[in-house]
Amino acid sequence: QVKLSVMANNNNENKNVNLDEGEDIDDSLYSRQRYVWGDKAMRKMQNSNVFMSGCGSIGVEIAKNVCLAGVAKLTLHDSKNASFFDLSGQFYLSEKHIGQGRLDPTADKIDELNPYTKVSKSTEDIYGDDFDLSFFDEYTCVVLTEAPLKASIRINEYCRSKGIAFILGDLNGALVSTFVDFGDKFQVLDRNGEQVKQVLVDHITNETPAVVHCLENVRHEMETGYHIEFYELPEDEEDGKKSWKECNEKLFRIKELSPFTFSLYHPKENDDDEDEQERPLNGEEFVKYNKGTGMAIEKKVPFTLKFKSLAESLEEPELIMADLCKFDYPGQLHLFNRALYEYRERHEGNLPELWNYDQAKEVIDIATEINEKAKHVDEIKVDVFTKLAVTSRGGLAPLAAFMGGLVGQEVLKSITGKFTPTKQWLYVDGLEVLPEGSEKSDFDHAAFHPTEDRYDSLRVCVGQNTVDAIGKLRLFMVGAGAIGCEMFKNFAMLGVASKGGEIKVTDNDLIERSNLNRQFLFRSKHIGEPKSTSAKEATLEMNPNLNITTFLDKVGGQTEDKYNDAFYSDLDLIVNALDNVEARKYMDNRAVTNQKFLLESGTLGPKGHIQVVIPYESESYGSSNDPPEKDVPYCTLKSFPSNINHCIVWSRDLLFEDLLVLRPSDLKRFTEDKDIKEKIKSPDKDLWQAISKVAFMIDNQPKSYSDCISLARILFEEHFRNSALTLLNKFPLDHKMKDGSLFWSSPKRPPTPLTFDSSDTVMMNFIKYFSILYGQIWGIKPDITEDSDYISVLDNVDVPEFVIDNNVNIAVDEDDEKAKEKEEEISEDKQEEFRSCVEQYFTGDSITSTITPHEFEKDVDENHHIDFITAAANLRARLYKIKEETRIEVKRIAGRITPAIATTTSAVSGLVSLELIKIAQKAKFENYKSCFLNLGIAFITLSEPGVARKREITKDITCTIWDRFDVKKAYTLQDLIRYFRLKMGLQVTGIVYQGQMIYVSSMPQHKDRLPQPMKNLLKRKPGTKYADLVVSFTDENDKKVDNPPVTRFYFRRRKNNKNRK
């Protein structure tokens, strides 16, 4: 097999990477990112050349994220020496680099991140007045950080003239900013990167504009300005009227009217012309719509954006609102940034000295001059300007991480045309962590001056007390994957647990190659090693002073004995770095139960969220839930698929899982069960199902690889021809429902039986991959590889003649449980046949002990699991005339892969770490920020956490999620019930402990439990001080109390009290 070798750097042995011929994207590395950007965008990255100037804290974050994404070439530019101020943000520098150039150690580390990215170095004097700007001609995008304004304007104008994207990024103390300019005519190919929306049409109205109503009030999830094309609209005709079929495969622009309806317009001739007259579709020209047919599919239509130059945008900025608590801040921060640029121009490039109020006043005076002409704000916020000016030489690493993620995303947008760019200025501040008061006399400034250590840049912003408090933090982080790696890096920069504190982290996963694309602490040498221990080692290289303890456990009910309340009592906070909702909810519950801070975050492609959970004050993660994903009804999967997702799930769950996992697993279980001969003599319903599956395996035990091919051919006939014939016999194309409507109307699609064709690639793939997988179960290896050899075997397969069963039961809808049960029923004749088959097998001498069931694994291409599921799913789609799908997309859906990219992870972890500083400072509630962001459309919303809602238990008792009922003066069950009745006026109706029902008031036999000690009923373990109970109540009006708090029952010794009643 021919291999292609990608050489990016002869000095790095890891740069030699082999790809199969014909491939140009390494799916084993990029699989999670690939689902965000798509192959076209990925190929553009692989032909791009990015220039990034400035190897400070924000520059290294941008470079990291761009390199991980897989651009072809990345040039890092820098001419500064490292100082102590770099060390609290520049994670590839350490004390040994002080006084040396920043470029070499940074570029060498960035070069390790991706074998497909060639990293180069530059020390050119690009900011000199006489510098030849044609130097930039080879680059796709130019990013400047720590750059002087006049030179930036000059470079920006040149880039605009050459069609080169230009981005500025800066961090000054507690303010981070970016400016984006992609030129006069930048084409956006996909505004949001979302999966194409598809909705079934119920009907379209005969009005102007025509209005589309979605089938069964299913949400269309599209917005005004989206474009769609119609398919399968009805062909009904009428004299003088148009048929709706004329609209098939034609483009329309929509206006959202409701979540279930939208109106139709002809597309604009010039989509960039906002003044162009709208042209509604005249529905009056069409026949009355025959309900229940047709679908609308979103069509991604490119559009053009025009950007202002840096010089023009300084005067007339387009500002993005990020903080909902600071509506008037964007203009203020832009004015401050302009004044700071001007101050540097007047002072040889220097920023104001630390905590120098005279120089801060000069910045304010400059801002006043600028504002008199530009009118950016009505009144300057002097206190804000002062705080930002006196700390501008410092820098908050969390803000660098955030902006490094956002700017990295903008770089990739400029290359690919995918997603909507930032337009054009974005400012985010961390003012809440700066000391209160803006006057010199407001606090002791001695604690805010540098001491020549790695925390200087942080210290000058937040003070020594906060630095010490961060160092003493004791936290538990769950997860050491993408977010976990970024958080570890931020912990190292902030010095978390470096002064007596402790970071405890657990992750039960091992490192895989696909992790390396975004979990940047790991390298190829770490593959197969535990994430938590490898992340610890990499973090200590950044900052050896951290105290880190690692675990390899999955946190949940099964490990609650280890991670118990005593474990959490020693903590200040919990950090979630998880990738699933179930685990998040569990940790949220543990945080609330133990009344601890929780920093919760997560990502999904370019989207991310940050939630701060504050004891006693805020709502928790579990306080609000997304609507649960609706399961696909069994009948839809079995007989009535309407989209490719249904076909893929059928292929994975009802074909792969049944034939290659469950059936061989049952045979293996039977083989290993010494008592199986006795059990099958009187089986229950579940065992009958297992017997039927085992009988299938026994009847189809192959003796050769040819037998596997023969079975594959018979299964093809069964699933892609006979099943369709059975369905059409039961429900002919003209079959009508009781109300007279056609049975075969949307969303039901009639099948068209397939005929096997050995020249069809998909059909042959089904045969090949099933044969390989089925053979592996029995330990049989393929002995042929050529299509001609397969065809020779297939030509001799005796395919059983199909006989229609007129008595077959088919479930039609999800409520038709009786039909579903009848589908699964096994007739008496069949039962006897199956039992006889199994009995004969287990009493004979042909028992096979080498049964190896498959376990579905999506990320190992060599196992052919996805290959088989792809072939089966596309044949299923073809059976129902549904558009077939690519292997990569089948892998995403079948593998339930969550799309992920490094840029979002970086941005999210940065904002989480900013909140960690506030926890160390014991900040006020109003200073905390939760966030939702979508880097794909440059949407960032910072807001105060939601307040914990109070709910009424009785008219005298209210509580929040943080409250619990502590019961310390009860011994027996009767004591506990009496306590609630006398103290709170509540009648106990039930008690549950660890999922076990302890007491139900309506059960007479439970009255015998009333005098029993609670320690006996709860089976108290030695050393246990209390038990958390779920107690249900009714109030004085005999009304059920909704969601009462947890009851914490403290075990106590019974006092010898003769007068006790």
> Which residues are annotated as catalytic?
635
Q: Alpha carbon of 179 to those of 239, 279, 341, 908, 934: distances in Å?
A: 59, 37, 14, 20, 18
The H or E element spanning position 978 is helix 973-984
Cα–Cα distance, 857 to 895 (Å, whole number): 8
Residues contacting residue 931 through CB under 8 Å, at least 6 positions apart? 608, 609, 610, 911, 940, 941, 942, 943
Listed in order, strand segments (DSSP E) in 333-446 are: 425-429
Q: Please identify which residue in the block is written with the tokens 């403290």.
A: 1050
Is 318 within 8 Å of 370 (Cβ atoms)? no
Q: How many CA atoms lie within 13 A of 490 on its CB side?
A: 30
Backbone angles phi, psi at 555, to 5 degrees: -80, 130
Cα–Cα distance, 418 to 191 (Å, whole number): 7
Burial class (CB in 10 A: 0-12, 13-18, 19+), 636: buried
Cα–Cα distance, 111 to 76 (Å, whole number): 10
What does the CA dihedral 92, 97, 99, 104 come to, rounded to 10 degrees?
A: -60
Is 396 within 8 Å of 167 (Cβ atoms)? no
Cα–Cα distance, 610 to 915 (Å, whole number): 9
Other beta carbons within 10 angstroms of residue 548's beta carbon come to 21
Q: Alpha carbon of 775 to those of 470, 705, 716, 720, 768: distances in Å?
A: 58, 7, 17, 22, 11
User: What are 89's two structure tokens?
Assistant: 């943000």
Cα–Cα distance, 812 to 58 (Å, whole number): 58
What end-to-end distance do the CA atoms of the chain give, in Å?
Answer: 88
Cα–Cα distance, 971 to 1011 (Å, whole number): 9
Nearest CA-CA partner of 101 in 85, 120, 118, 123: 123
Backbone angles phi, psi at 943, to 5 degrees: -155, 165
Q: Alpha carbon of 192 to those of 301, 417, 606, 879: distances in Å?
A: 11, 11, 9, 32
3-state secondary structure of 1003: coil
The residue type of 931 is C
Is 93 within 8 Å of 111 (Cβ atoms)? no
Cis amide bond preceding 398, omega within 30: no
Q: Please identify which residue in the block is written with the tokens 């009493």.
A: 843
What does the CA dihedral 876, 880, 883, 889 come to, rounded to 10 degrees?
A: -30
3-state secondary structure of 18: strand
